[in-house]
Amino acid sequence: MHLDYRLNEDRETDWASVTEEDLRYRVALGNLIFRVGDKDFSATWEWIPLVDLAASFDDILRKLESGSRSETFEFTESDAWIRFEKKDGKVSVSTSYGEGVGEIPWSELAEATKSFRERLHSEIVRQHPHAAHNAAVRKLLGSAAARG
């Protein structure tokens, strides 16, 4: 599987003062690259809030790990969705906008989601050093310990 992103260029945001709502809806926008086997669930709409997506995927994995069998990610600006269904150590992935169902081992999805969040955090902080000290960034993209 391949879980990645393309972050839009952003020279306007004041990263010292961005709020959680900014990160959930208005800031760090870009594309989702998401391939599971031969299924391509990428969403290249340019407006996807990537910090929100990383935090939401993290939340979805926590819920699946805690016993939930199915969790759905809803995009912020459309009714499009990505559904994750856990069964027997594997996760089936389907979307409202792509054909078919992809299947991945749980451990692979967990590792890819963690890596996605960490890479996004690193890139944002590298491009916008003030983001490192922003509480909302730490809450949504920091390590599990930092997020409490």
Partner 1 sequence: MNLRPLTVWFVAFGLLMTGGFGMGQTAQYAQVQSSAAQVVLTRWALQHIMARHWPDSPATGAGKFQAGITEATLRDMINEAVHNGRARQNTHGRPGTIYEYDFQRQIGTTIDGGPATRLRVVVNSRNEVVTAFPF
Interface with partner 1 (CB under 8 A): 20-21, 24-26, 43-47, 52, 55-56, 59-60, 71-80, 97
User: Of 21 and 111, which CB lies nearer to partner 1 in the complex structure?
Assistant: 21
Q: Is residue 138 a contact partner of residue 147, using CB atoms and an 8 Å limit?
A: yes
Question: Closest distance between partner 1 and the C-beta of residue 26, in Å?
Answer: 6
User: Of 65 and 126, which CB lies nearer to partner 1 in the complex structure?
Assistant: 65
Grouping H, G, I as helix, E, B as strand and the rest as coil, residue 140 is helix
Grouping H, G, I as helix, E, B as strand and the rest as coil, residue 6 is strand
d(CA 105, CA 138) in angstroms, rounded, equals 28
State the first-to-last Cα distance of the chain, in angstroms, to the nearest integer.
Answer: 29
Length of the chain as a residue count: 148
Question: Closest distance between partner 1 and the C-beta of residue 44, in Å?
Answer: 8
User: Of 15 and 84, which CB lies nearer to partner 1 in the complex structure?
Assistant: 84
- Which one, of 17, 4, 16, 114, lies nearest residue 57 by Cα? 114
Question: Closest distance between partner 1 and the C-beta of residue 137, in Å?
Answer: 14
Question: Closest distance between partner 1 and the C-beta of residue 95, in Å?
Answer: 12
User: Of 77 and 111, which CB lies nearer to partner 1 in the complex structure?
Assistant: 77
